[in-house]
């Protein structure tokens, strides 16, 4: 279990901003996925800010990618920002 993982949430208009902080493991991936499912109403774009992530564990990335593939029928654009964007973003998503 990742210690001190946190997601800060900010919503404006049809954008949702999620700032990830700490270590990203399987539990963290599930937290992120649940938050995406719970907050998808009226959202067109989700910005996932990764600059505050310390470490991305392979299991966390794998859990996120596999579960994200199952949710990909939703018409929401995921935009990944920050130093860890390349490591976390599923293939085909936008990196800023």
Domain boundaries of the chain, sorted by first residue: 6-95
- Put simply, whether the predicted model's pTM sits higher than 0.85 gets the answer yes
* E strand or H helix that includes residue 8: strand 6-12
How far from 22 is each of 10, 28, 70, 84, CA to CA, in Å?
Answer: 18, 9, 25, 12
Question: Are 10 and 3 spatial neighbours (Cβ–Cβ below 8 Å)?
Answer: no
pLDDT recorded at residue 37: 86
Q: In what order do the strands lie in the sheet with 77-81?
A: 6-12, 15-24, 45-56, 77-81, 94-95
Tens of pLDDT, residues 61-89? 999 988 876 555 556 788 999 999 999 98
Given a cut of 60, whether residue 2 has pLDDT beyond it is: no
Q: If one looks up domain 6-95 in CATH, what number appears?
A: 3.30.750.24
pLDDT recorded at residue 38: 87
pLDDT recorded at residue 47: 95
Given a cut of 70, whether residue 3 has pLDDT beyond it is: no
Tens of pLDDT, residues 26-48? 999 999 999 988 887 888 899 99
How far apart are the C-alpha atoms of 11 and 68, rounded to whole Å? 21
């Amino acid at each position: 279990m990742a210690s001190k993982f946190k997601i800060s949430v900010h919503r404006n208009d049809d954008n949702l901003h999620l700032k990830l902080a700490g270590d990203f493991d399987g539990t963290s991936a599930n937290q992120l996925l649940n938050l995406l499912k719970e907050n998808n109403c009226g959202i067109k774009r989700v910005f996932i800010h990764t600059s505050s992530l310390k470490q991305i564990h392979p299991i966390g990335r794998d859990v996120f990618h596999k579960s994200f593939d199952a949710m990909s029928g939703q018409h929401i654009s995921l935009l990944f920002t920050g130093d860890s964007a390349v490591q976390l973003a599923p293939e085909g998503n936008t990196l800023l």
